[in-house]
Every structure is written in C-alpha cells, then in structure tokens.
Amino acid sequence: MLKKIIFVTIVAILAYYGSTGLIHIFKKNPPIITDFITCEKAGRPIMESYPRQCLGINEKTYVEIIDNNALNTDPVILSPDLSRPLTNPVTISGEARGFWFFEATFPVKLVDDKGNLIATGTAKAKGDWMTADFVPFTVTINFKNPATKTGELILIKDNPSGLASQDQEIRLPVFFQKMNEVGNKIQTSSSTEKKPANNASTTN
C-alpha cells in the first residue's frame, strides 16, 4: 500500500512540473503568427464574418484570403428556362456565391440587344450570404416587351467599394416575345374556339 502511495505521489509531481514546464516553454516561445492560416493553426479565436477573421496576439486581426479565381464564381440561373421567351413579370431564381452579395442583395438589369435599359431589379439572398458557398436568390422584374426580339439579363456583383477592379458581371442572352406575335396568338386561339353546330337544314 505504501509503495502504491509513493508511486502515485511521484507521478503527480512529475505531471505537475511537466505541465508547468510546457506552459513556461510555450510562453517563452509563442507560435509565430503572420497570416490567417498561421493564426488559425495557433488556435486563436475565429470571427465568423465573411471573409473570416482570426484574432491574433495583441488583438491584431488577420483576414482570410479568398481566391475567387480558384472558384466557379458565376451565378447559376435555375428558372425560368432562358431558351424560351420571357413573360412579364418574370421571376428569376438561381444561386450565386456569397461574395456576389452585399447586405444580402445584388443588382440585376434587363436590356435589349442594343443595350437599352428595359428594367432593373434587386436579387435577394434566401439564406446566409456571408459564405463562399452558393446561396439561393430570387428576383422579380416587371418589364414591357421591347422592339427587339433578343436582349440580355445582366447579373451584377455588388461592389460597395466602388473600385473598378472589383466590378464583375455576367450577361445571359434572353428572348422577348413581340407584341404582334402575342396578338397573333390570341387571335389564333379565338378563331380555333369550337363554334356551336348549325343544325338548320335548307329546303326548297
């Protein structure tokens, strides 16, 4: 029994001095932090902003660098089918990377094939936009059919900095239905309506 007590005491003493020694070494030689990655590896607190920020020693923060070029950054349109003519109003839904948004929105434009502005809208995120992942969005645009049959839907990355180097947009071709074509469809539909049968017979 006495041997067991002595053994436990020795282990406890070694554990105490071993841990205090490691703490002393760590304090004497703290990890070198030069950027977000080394800050994160050092176990420093991470702020869940976008981009993420790591709180280093002496309250210095290190911002995570996002390589947008390494990502597929173009938004994706899920509906409507842009191979078919747009109808007014048109509700557009899709997905875009979080950095396309600012305060959960980004601007949208609709132009004809001559670049004339037809309508504008604001795409709104349907989830947490402070991420590098794709975020669902939706926007409804009211417009009048232009004189041209084609145009472009322009999705514009929100750029609160105002720096031209941060500007980014994608242009998607769209089709419009001319007003006379709409009228022809209505007229054709009316003329093909079933008429009541004429059962009267003519006698001489």
- At a CB cut-off of 8 Å and minimum separation 6, what does 29 contact? none
Could you report the per-residue pLDDT of 167-188, keeping only the tens digit for each? 899 999 999 986 555 444 444 4
Q: Which structural domain range is residue 145 located in?
A: 69-188
Residue type, 182: V
| Same domain (yes/no): 52, 81 | no
Residue type, 63: V
Asked if the model's pLDDT at residue 3 lies above 90, the reply is no
Asked if the model's pLDDT at residue 202 lies above 70, the reply is no
- Calpha distance 33→45 (Å, rounded): 13
Which whole number is the average pLDDT over 16-42?
Answer: 68
Quick check: pTM over 0.85?
no
Query: In sequence order, which ranges of 31-95 are alpha helices (DSSP H)?
Result: 36-41
| Same domain (yes/no): 92, 31 | no
Domains identified in the chain, total number: 2
| Same domain (yes/no): 73, 29 | no
| Same domain (yes/no): 14, 101 | no
Which whole number is the average pLDDT over 17-29?
Answer: 51
- Which residues share a beta bridge with 122? 107
